[in-house]
Amino acid sequence: MPDLAERAGAGPAAQRILELLPEPVILVQAAEGEAPEIAYGNQAAREVFRIELAGAPLGAALRRPEVLEAIEEALATSTSTEVAFETIGVQPRFWRAFAKPLGIDAEGIRQLVVVLRDETDARRTERMRADFLANASHELRTPLASLAGFVETLRTHAKDDPEARDRFLGIMAQQATRMARLVDDLLSLSRIELNEHIAPSGKVDLSRTIQDVTDAIRPLTAERGVSVAVDSPAEVGSVIGDRDQLVQVIQNLVDNAVKYTAKGGTVRVSLAAAPTLEVARAASRPGVSLSLLSPDASDGQAYVVLRVRDEGPGIARQHLPRLSERFYRVEGQRSGGTGLGLAIVKHVVNRHRGGLTVESAEGEGATFSVYLPAVSHQP
Ligand SMILES: Nc1ncnc2c1ncn2[C@@H]1O[C@H](COP(=O)(O)OP(=O)(O)OP(=O)(O)O)[C@@H](O)[C@H]1O
Ligand SMILES: [Mg+2]
């Protein structure tokens, strides 16, 4: 066991605790006029920084000059220092090192503890937050710029042109509607995320819910010349869920399917029971299938699978993994949507501890499958 830990007064219990800490801890000692050396590294330090030997020069183990500098400064001034640094490897990681002097022992050896904190996840979250804000602002800015442009035109050139005025007002109304939808979707997404860690506990008759949603959009699909065929046997059973959120899931999937189906085509919505996760996850037909979300396996859990299949242009393979990212839209498709629909679907399904799969290839239509934990039947 580390003699520095002992010399610093750490009893066996304290040493065991040091050993078990998830964060790397390194004890450093330096005799007068000599380079600091490692006295001890706990298990995390040994794993992450490959610190093997007590007595190794600090510079050999921690190759970052800025960290060494912070340690030297802490030793020299007997004050705490901290420094952020990066390690490169298969995956770059971001660290913050805290160097805290422990004092000088009877033999004049200076002692110091270095605690390392892994800030990679925090950095990533921060990065995602910044990206999200940039994307959201950009999406709002585009229709806003167009509105401002038309206001200006109406005030000047189109002032005395009733025909142009009507046309511009029509476009402005559309842009305003689009912005309102975007804001609604963003609010909806943030509400879902707020309680994503709390699984719903209600019981939802999915067959009924599908009927309700498809009945409601029928006038619209009829107008577009697309038929919606529903095969949702009532005996499939219920799922554990939040009805309003599941309505959003069905609506988004059916909306997309209808949007990409040409006149005369059919969108098929079906419901089936799956006794296990493997069955629920399985592809519905040969071809490209990709899981966008998959729950942790839980023993004996049965699922209900909702499938929405369309006869649209399909989606090229390279786009599949990114479909459920916020604001992601396949290039060249002017869907007019916000790109938030599938992100909402994914977060709702995740809250329900379910899964989401997409099967598609260019020219072959697309099938989106959502599976949700079934309500177990007590015999
Ligand atoms: N059934 C489908 N067939 C072909 N492409 C699809 C289909 N469903 C989704 N996509 C593609 O995935 C993208 C993301 O879909 P998503 O529903 O998240 O956004 P959106 O439909 O563009 O906007 P929103 O749903 O917010 O109105 C779409 O823009 C489209 O490119
Ligand atoms: Mg959509």
Judge if the beta carbon of residue 289 lies within 6 A of ligand 1.
no
The backbone torsions φ and ψ at residue 367, rounded to the nearest 5 degrees and listed phi first, read: -125, 125
Q: Which ligand 1 atom sits nearest the alpha carbon of residue 330?
A: 31
For residues 12-32, average pLDDT? 90
Pairing state between β 203-204 and 93-104:
unpaired
CATH topology of domain 121-194: Helix Hairpins (1.10.287)
Q: Whose CA is nearest to atom 4 of ligand 1?
A: 314
Judge if the beta carbon of residue 329 lies within 6 A of ligand 1.
yes
The rounded Å distance from CA 256 to ligand 1 centre is 6
The rounded Å distance from CA 300 to ligand 2 centre is 33
Contacts of 60 (CB under 8 A, 6+ apart): none
Residues 116 and 23 sit within 8 Å (Cβ to Cβ): yes
Judge if the beta carbon of residue 339 lies within 6 A of ligand 1.
yes
Tokens of 83: 């420094």
For residues 359-368, average pLDDT? 93
Assess whether pLDDT exceeds 50 at residue 1: no
Task: Out of 1-15, 88-102, 249-263, 339-353, pick the least confident.
Answer: 1-15
Contacts of 174 (CB under 8 A, 6+ apart): none
What architecture does CATH give domain 3-118?
A: 2-Layer Sandwich (3.30)
Judge if the beta carbon of residue 260 lies within 6 A of ligand 1.
yes
The rounded Å distance from CA 223 to ligand 1 centre is 20
Closest ligand to residue 339's CA: 1
Report the alpha-carbon distance of residue 53 to residue 40 in Å, rounded: 8
Residues 297-317: b if buried by 16+ CB within 10 A, e if exposed: eeeebbbbbbbbbbbbbbbee
Q: Whose CA is nearest to atom 8 of ligand 1?
A: 256
Question: Who wins on pLDDT, 71 or 33?
Answer: 71
Distances in whole angstroms, Cα of residue 267 to Cα of each of 14, 194, 220, 280: 65, 33, 13, 21
Concatenate the DSSP letters of all residues of 286-349 into one string. Answer: SS-EEEEE-PPP-TT--EEEEEEE--S----GGGGGGTTSTT---TT----S-S-HHHHHHHHH
CA dihedral sign of residues 216, 221, 227, 229: negative
Identify the band that residue 2 occupies on the pLDDT scale cut at 50, 70 and 90: very low
Q: Is 318 left (phi over 0), alpha (psi -120 to 50) or beta?
A: alpha
Q: Which CATH superfamily is domain 198-373 in?
A: Histidine kinase-like ATPase, C-terminal domain (3.30.565.10)
Closest ligand to residue 368's CA: 1
Which residue among 288, 309, 323 has the greatest number of ligand 1 atoms within 8 angstroms of its CB, and so is best to mutate?
323
Identify the band that residue 305 occupies on the pLDDT scale cut at 50, 70 and 90: very high
Report the alpha-carbon distance of residue 27 to residue 268 in Å, rounded: 65
Assess whether pLDDT exceeds 80 at residue 377: no
Nearest to 37 by CA among 4, 12, 73, 11: 4
Report the alpha-carbon distance of residue 149 to residue 172 in Å, rounded: 10
Identify the band that residue 13 occupies on the pLDDT scale cut at 50, 70 and 90: confident
pLDDT at site 263: 95
| Residues 75, 46, 53: CA angle, nearest 5 degrees | 70
For residues 224-230, average pLDDT? 96
Identify the band that residue 287 occupies on the pLDDT scale cut at 50, 70 and 90: confident
Judge if the beta carbon of residue 366 lies within 6 A of ligand 1.
yes
Concatenate the DSSP letters of all residues of 97-119 into one string. Answer: EEEEEEEE-TTS-EEEEEEEEE-
Task: Return the H-helix or E-strand segment holding 52.
Answer: none
Judge if the beta carbon of residue 341 lies within 6 A of ligand 1.
yes
Report the alpha-carbon distance of residue 154 to residue 160 in Å, rounded: 9
Q: Which ligand 1 atom sits nearest the alpha carbon of residue 339?
A: 19
Domain locations in the chain?
A: 3-118, 121-194, 198-373
pLDDT at site 47: 87
Tokens of 155: 């005030």
Assess whether pLDDT exceeds 70 at residue 54: no
The rounded Å distance from CA 340 to ligand 2 centre is 7
Secondary structure letter of residue 138 according to DSSP? H
Identify the band that residue 335 occupies on the pLDDT scale cut at 50, 70 and 90: low
Closest ligand to residue 181's CA: 1
**78-101 confidence digits (pLDDT tens):** 999 999 999 887 788 999 999 999
List strand residue ranges (DSSP E) for the chain, in order: 25-30, 37-41, 81-87, 93-104, 110-118, 203-204, 227-231, 239-240, 266-274, 289-293, 303-309, 355-360, 366-373
The percentage of residues in the chain with a pLDDT greater than 70, rounded to a whole number, is: 94
Assess whether pLDDT exceeds 90 at residue 71: yes
Tokens of 14: 């304290």
Judge if the beta carbon of residue 347 lies within 6 A of ligand 1.
no
Q: Whose CA is nearest to atom 5 of ligand 1?
A: 315
Tokens of 344: 């909402």
